[in-house]
Structure 1
């Protein structure tokens, strides 16, 4: 079992791994959170992956669910990890102190991935994981592809104000990856205008008073499945144009950030093309606002 006491901190900052750990790539890598799953699936050899989390194959939760099929899935116990005897653990679960206490006694090499709140965080984490698993060039190639894709996004001068509105009226605020994503495609975050924290609740009445130009909603909320999603289909919201993105693209930082940015930019461009012209004329090929 490798002992790399400074691995998590140095790798996360993008620093190169110590020489002793550059030569031999780890052969048994275990992921302990969903975000780590997606980095490993993008960067590691399949033969290196010894365990992913239970949500790795969920299409609603993971943007890399298809790639995870056929790989070992963990139930979430320390005993499973100890049985694998990994030479690298990625994605330390901060809230599961019992598991970490059991694993830390074995002095496993670990890379801790904190929640990404900016694209720069994602880039740093890609470099951290790629370096730790022995594939730094893959990491740089992935970053280069993501940079190129983001550079081609249309940049509307003022796309409008949007609310990332979720089930039960939760609103995503500033200082989050969603907020940065909105700014990237030219949107102003309603939560910032209302001086809301990173996560807050907003009633339908408050939302209607604020009158955002767009609601960004998760694709899973397109139909009513419970009381939490029912409010997103309230008649009061019918005249606010919606932008849809899968939850799997935003639950974690990672390569899916590019997919989310592309989708939002395209939907905003389509909405602009369908805006009523002077005199109230609307392109007949455009769908009616939801």
Structure 2
């Protein structure tokens, strides 16, 4: 009986070790950074991507301060020897020189809907050893979205970017538009996920709103100049940080709140 209990205890120890939370996690992508920061202990984060502290691209830039960021990914990852790597997605040659199967890798496709974000939160939360944090984050996001006020005015909107690119249907931006009560102009025009729409075509389409990235509000180059053309001046604008929409993640809630606030603030 004693021998059986000893063997059972040993088996339990081995099982616990096999499922222990990773101690050195590296993220190779600014989108994965945001999940990792939200769900892992700081002590588990060995390094974040090179863009982790860039406020233009990362909604978690402030939280990334004080954490290591990668400069030469392949060399540094080899030196860190992480037990988990997050990326979007990770191909076989992303970390050059790494022996096959040396590390656990979780590759995540770009989230194109809120439901995809929730799936990824659960995946990352399990991978970093904190599934309960994932459920708490999801509950908080659901609660905040349920509390969104109604938009006082809807209409057709175009997410119009530098050089005349418009974000189409089947994207995270499209999902956001539907959530706040807007109709994506790209759908009415039959455009794909990303299409270049000339200024003349945009003027002729007569959208009720233009959603633009806050970094494009001022003219800084030829790419942003067309967004300030006098022909578009009469179209009301909703400015949102690029970091809220470039990735799936907790910032989805901030984006929805921000768009609703700007819709309701317009007179």
Match of 1:52 among 11, 36, 48: 48
User: What runs of 5+ residues in structure 1 fail to find an aligned partner?
Assistant: 1-18, 275-290
Paired with 1:20 and 1:157, the residues of 2 have a C-alpha distance of 53
Query: 1:61 corresponds to which residue?
Result: 57
**Contact persistence 1:30–1:50 (CA under 8 A):** yes
Match of 1:167 among 159, 162, 169: 162
Runs of 4+ in structure 1 off by over 6 angstroms are: none
User: What runs of 5+ residues in structure 2 fail to find an aligned partner?
Assistant: 1-14
Paired with 1:223 and 1:157, the residues of 2 have a C-alpha distance of 27
User: Would you say 1:33 and 2:32 are equivalent positions?
Assistant: no
Distance 1:258 1:21, change over 3 A: farther
Once the two structures are TM-superposed, the CA of residue 158 in structure 1 deviates from its matched residue by: 6.3
Once the two structures are TM-superposed, the CA of residue 101 in structure 1 deviates from its matched residue by: 5.9
Paired with 1:53 and 1:193, the residues of 2 have a C-alpha distance of 37
User: Would you say 1:180 and 2:175 are equivalent positions?
Assistant: yes
Size of the aligned set, in residue pairs, is 253
Give the 3-state SS of the residue equivalent to 2:94 in structure 1: helix
TM-score, normalised to structure 1's length? 0.83
**Contact persistence 1:53–1:76 (CA under 8 A):** no
Paired with 1:76 and 1:121, the residues of 2 have a C-alpha distance of 30
Paired with 1:258 and 1:92, the residues of 2 have a C-alpha distance of 21
Once the two structures are TM-superposed, the CA of residue 76 in structure 1 deviates from its matched residue by: 4.0
Match of 1:114 among 106, 109, 112: 109
**Contact persistence 2:89–2:109 (CA under 8 A):** no
Match of 1:234 among 223, 229, 237: 229
For residues 242-284 of structure 1, the C-alpha deviation after alignment (integer angstroms, 9 at most, x for no partner) is: 001000111100000000000101111222xx2xxxxxxxxxx
Once the two structures are TM-superposed, the CA of residue 82 in structure 1 deviates from its matched residue by: 1.1
Query: 2:81 corresponds to which residue?
Result: 85
For residues 41-84 of structure 1, the C-alpha deviation after alignment (integer angstroms, 9 at most, x for no partner) is: 11111110001011000011100001101111102432211110
Paired with 1:234 and 1:215, the residues of 2 have a C-alpha distance of 13
**Contact persistence 1:115–1:253 (CA under 8 A):** yes
Once the two structures are TM-superposed, the CA of residue 93 in structure 1 deviates from its matched residue by: 4.1
Paired with 1:177 and 1:141, the residues of 2 have a C-alpha distance of 22
Once the two structures are TM-superposed, the CA of residue 22 in structure 1 deviates from its matched residue by: 7.3
Paired with 2:72 and 2:28, the residues of 1 have a C-alpha distance of 8
Query: 2:127 corresponds to which residue?
Result: 132
TM-score, normalised to structure 2's length? 0.90
Paired with 2:256 and 2:224, the residues of 1 have a C-alpha distance of 24
Once the two structures are TM-superposed, the CA of residue 181 in structure 1 deviates from its matched residue by: 0.2
Q: Does 19-28 or 140-149 show the bigger shift? A: 19-28
Distance 1:46 1:29, change over 3 A: same
**Contact persistence 1:93–1:100 (CA under 8 A):** no
